[in-house]
Amino acid sequence: MADKEISKAVIARLPRYYRHLGELMEDGVERISSNELSLRMKVTASQIRQDLNNFGGFGQQGYGYNVKYLYTEIAKILGIDRQHNLVIIGAGNLGQAIANYANFEKRGFLIKGMFDINPRLIGLVVRGIEIRSVDDLEQFVIDNNVQIAALTIPKTKAPEIADRLVRAGIKAIWNFAHTDLTVPDDVVVENVHLSESLMRLSYRVCNMQDQESDKYRQTAKNS
Amino acid sequence: MADKEISKAVIARLPRYYRHLGELMEDGVERISSNELSLRMKVTASQIRQDLNNFGGFGQQGYGYNVKYLYTEIAKILGIDRQHNLVIIGAGNLGQAIANYANFEKRGFLIKGMFDINPRLIGLVVRGIEIRSVDDLEQFVIDNNVQIAALTIPKTKAPEIADRLVRAGIKAIWNFAHTDLTVPDDVVVENVHLSESLMRLSYRVCNMQDQESDKYRQTAKNS
DNA sequence: CACCATTATAACTGGGTGATAAAATAATGT
DNA sequence: ACATTATTTTATCACCCAGTTATAATGGTG
């Protein structure tokens, strides 16, 4: 498993490969060539081969790629073969939406706890997870070996909570708050700015005429 | 307003410029140079200048950029100075989270209706918006001049609903379902695949050692 | 009139695509 | 059943283009 410089562009595409391979497995497909996959995913076969080659030869000439093997290998690369403990901070609709999305647990993301400042929410149980007071946040993170925190709170509170998480030793923040976070460089921040996504959509709607494309197409880009 | 070929990379950055300019306005800042903005946003001044130049000279030599002017110009480019009617399909937590996010309305995104198949939810009112049966979807889209549909439903139902939206004349789909959608090329699809975002985060956590960075940094990339 | 900051231009870097070579499988004939 | 040929498909290389960063030229500011 050569640990040398995989480009961000490649990593960004891996989850989509993973999803399609999962669907192929469900359909009982055992092997697939880069060409078939290319047709299905609407990307060039060249790119598929080059992407996968970054991690060493998963394919075999004259045969193609073994679906199941490739699926588990990508899981390893993405680190979703291990368990990640996470907490959700902000038990509003968005926080609960994440808590309710069962599939995360299948991918090894285990929701250990939820937190909020609203006294009305504290004590409630969502999917078997009790909503706690943010006062207990740091101790909980330490006690439960929590690596990832999903931040689904207003932007005004986000920087302070982020600082507290960092001090408690968090490894990564999944940031849904509409603000940039400043953290030490050994802490990962993955932003999900929905309003920015909607603005990009708005631009594309307003500038439809000059949209590069080729009649019926599948959606590939962006998160 | 030169309508010639703005790259996707530039458009993807505009919302972030917009957000920072909004904050500067709130702080009463009237003008700013590319260098100051570069420090604040942690991107190169070169990039800021080149990005903004795509749309014609917003700045002035020896002075910098007028914050308010730039703010409104970016709004025009993104099309968020106009009103967009939208519907939310899927009134679960995620759908409600979007409905409850008030700021969208400030940006001209007006939620006209919500839809679900669950009879228990139909008839309920969220933020003054009644949840309707998806049976009435097409007619509602036509009657209310709806341009954008947010799809917060399971992936199994998504393709069918997308087809129906397309036939009803929708302009854009904001897709939260974990699947690719196939649509005619005059329909915009903006994907928000949360599970893929979380997998990218997972990769970065597991490969922390070789993370390009420069001690305390702000988060810039990705949606 | 010196300074400052933009604009315009140029150099560079890296991702994406297509082409070629190598390797393994499948098919064919003896 | 085995050897040989044809086909398939990956792996690798080279090129092109877009995006990013750096530099030179221009024009206001104070």
Tens digits of residue pLDDT in B122-175: 999 988 999 999 999 999 999 999 999 999 999 999 999 999 999 999 999 999
> What angle, 0 to 180 degrees and rounded to 10, lies between the N-to-C axes of helices B8-26 and B34-41?
90
Question: Residue B85 is encoded by which pair of tokens?
Answer: 């009617």
Residue partners of A179: CB distance under 8 A and separation at least 6:
A155, A158, A159, B19
Interface contact flag, B18 A211, Cβ < 8 Å: no
Interface contact flag, A207 B3, Cβ < 8 Å: yes
| Residue A169, phi then psi, degrees to nearest 5 | 95, 25
User: Nearest nucleotide (C1') to the CA of residue B35?
Assistant: C5
Where on strand D do bases come within 7 A of a protein Cβ?
A: 7-13, 18-23, 26-30
| Per-residue pLDDT, A74 | 93
Q: Which residues in chain B land under pLDDT 50? A: 1-3, 212-216, 223
Question: Residue A194 is encoded by which pair of tokens?
Answer: 């929905």
| Per-residue pLDDT, A219 | 59
C-alpha–C-alpha distance, residues B12 and A221, integer Å: 12
Beta carbons of B205 and A188 less than 8 angstroms apart: yes
- DSSP H stretches of helix in chain B: 8-26, 34-41, 45-53, 67-78, 93-100, 103-106, 137-143, 158-167, 194-206
Residue length of chain B: 223
Give contacts of B 41-100 with A, CB under 8 A. 41, 77-80, 82, 84, 92-94, 96-98, 100
SS3 labels along A93-147 = HHHHHHHHCCHHHHCCEEEEEEEECCCCCCCCEECCEEEEEHHHHHHHHHHCCCC
| Per-residue pLDDT, A175 | 98
- Let me know how many helices (H) and strands (E) chain A has, helices first: 9, 12
Residues A50-77, mean pLDDT to the nearest whole number: 86
Fill in the amino acid letter for A220. A
Beta carbons of B174 and A197 less than 8 angstroms apart: yes
pLDDT per residue as tens digits for the range A194-210: 999 999 999 999 988 65
The three-class DSSP label of residue A198 is helix
| Per-residue pLDDT, B211 | 54
pLDDT per residue as tens digits for the range A112-168: 999 999 999 999 998 899 999 999 999 999 999 999 999 999 999 999 999 999 999
> Which among B148, B190, B199 has the least Cβ separation from residue A222?
B190
| Per-residue pLDDT, A216 | 41
| Per-residue pLDDT, B95 | 96
Classify the C-alpha dihedral B167-B168-B172-B173 as positive or negative. negative
The three-class DSSP label of residue A6 is coil
pLDDT per residue as tens digits for the range A1-28: 334 578 999 999 999 999 999 999 999 8
* Mean model confidence pLDDT for chain A: 89
Where on strand C do bases come within 7 A of a protein Cβ?
A: 3-10, 14-19, 22-26
Beta carbons of A36 and A63 less than 8 angstroms apart: no
pTM of the entire predicted model: 0.92
Interface contact flag, A92 B97, Cβ < 8 Å: yes
The confidence band for A64, taking pLDDT boundaries of 50, 70 and 90, is confident
Beta carbons of A152 and A94 less than 8 angstroms apart: yes
The confidence band for A213, taking pLDDT boundaries of 50, 70 and 90, is very low
Interface contact flag, A181 B80, Cβ < 8 Å: no
Q: Provide the pairing of β-strand A109-116 with A129-133.
A: parallel
Instruction: State the DSSP code for B175.
Output: E
> Which among A93, A195, A205 has the least Cβ separation from residue B96?
A93
pLDDT per residue as tens digits for the range A154-183: 999 999 999 999 999 999 999 999 999 999
For residue A221, pLDDT beyond 70 = no
Beta carbons of A190 and A174 less than 8 angstroms apart: yes
| Per-residue pLDDT, A59 | 76
- Give the C-alpha distances (Å, rounded to integers) separating B75 from A117, A200, B8, B15, B175: 34, 11, 16, 9, 23
